[in-house]
Amino acid sequence: MTINRRQLLARSLYLSGALALSKQRAFAQAAQATGLKDLYKEDFYIGTAIGNARLTNPPAGFNELVAREFNAMTMENDMKWERLHPEPNRWVWDYADQFMAFGEKHGMFMVGHVLVWHSQTPSWVFNDADGKPLSRDALLARMKDHIDTVAGRYKGRIHAWDVVNEAVDEDKGWRKSAWFNQIGPDFVDHAFRYARAAAPEAHLMYNDYNMHNPGKRQFVVDMIKRFKNTGVPIDGVGMQGHVGLGYPEIQEFEKSIEAYAAAGVAVHITELDLDVLPVAWDHIGAEISDSFEYSDELNPYADGLPAEVEEQLAERYAQWFKLFLKHRDKIARVTFWGTGDSESWKNDFPVRGRTNYPLLFDRDYQRKPAYDAVAALKQ
């Protein structure tokens, strides 16, 4: 079974009413400039992640660049639990609402990130007033209230939700998070059911890193099949796409695209960036709690990327996009985790203080050779 962009649109509200008109206006305004979204419009959405600093204080030309190049947007951090609901009786909607207003102005495919995650979730979520762990039923009720509130607020406006993020621990099965320990593995089932009830027309996804890993691949495929057999609603799988010049093997990544699609879901490349720096202690994942000591050997390009490495970056990006185009009938969206190099989390992860160059636009938001390589595949 393959799920293409038109089938994704059929579930989302992307072509409905006022949003369709907004999209038409946005494209009309950008008609004189061709961006990646236009080059790849028959293949899949091209997206970017936006942080609150760029929303509230964008550099000159940033908003125009985003509108020209992308037709999908993800909120980088400010739809996560610790930002939206930092205290039991306090909700903070400012940045999320700004994100929605910006995206809707430009007719974007809007992605909500994330409803249930073990990280960036305040400790009070899992505990009662005395600081003791909540019971299974009490924590499920707290999860449901959060999903009802967040997904309900943006019902019909968020087109795809990362419902559960990073619940699988490489080859070891379920990650032993507080969600798992206090509820059990069916916390994922409940999260998807709650999300469908709160946002019935949204595209619901499971999102994770290292999704090329054969053990994780099989575990997620088995999960999807179980969901399909038991009526748990799932529409897509997000492969985060935190890759590097030498990892992972593209063939393994391709096997996962094929396997998830064969299980009956759309594939999204959700957090694409391409690390050019030396790998720190064989670290190639995206476990945000990981941190390694700085050394100059791990930060070789502090003063700029050498031309030969810039060329390697361009060639590697072209390889990845050739793969995505090969499987365009299975891939609904390719989203970069950031727009320009200066804002990328890869500057500080997993080694703080490094200078990285993982995106298609440089620190001044100028197109890099990697951009030209990706664009050239469609010209």
3-state DSSP assignment of residue 248: coil
Pull the structure tokens for residue 119. 């990280």
Q: Beta strand 331-336 with 160-165: parallel, antiparallel or unpaired?
A: unpaired
Burial of 32 (0-12, 13-18, 19+ CB in 10 A): exposed
Query: pLDDT per position in the chain (379 positions), as tens?
Result: 454 434 554 434 333 333 333 333 333 343 336 899 999 999 999 999 999 999 999 999 999 999 999 999 999 999 999 999 999 999 999 999 999 999 999 999 999 999 999 999 999 999 999 999 999 999 999 999 999 999 999 999 999 999 999 999 987 799 999 999 999 999 999 999 999 999 999 999 999 999 999 999 999 999 999 999 999 999 999 999 999 999 999 999 999 999 999 999 999 999 999 999 988 645 566 565 566 676 888 899 999 999 999 999 999 999 999 999 999 999 999 999 999 999 999 998 778 889 999 999 999 999 999 999 999 999 8
Contact 294, 352 (CB under 8 A): yes
pLDDT at 22: 38
CA 241 – CA 19 distance, rounded (Å)? 29
For the beta carbon of residue 363, count every other beta carbon within 10 angstroms: 16
pLDDT at 353: 87
H-assigned helices in 199-236: 214-230
Q: Is 271 a catalytic residue?
A: yes
Catalytic site residue from 69, 76, 166, 271: 271
Whole-prediction pTM: 0.90
Phi, psi of 376 (to 5 degrees): -65, -25
Domains of the chain with bracketed CATH: 5-376 (3.20.20.80)
pLDDT at 8: 59
Intra-chain end-to-end CA distance of the chain, in Å? 29
pLDDT at 68: 97
For residue 113, give the DSSP letter.
Answer: E
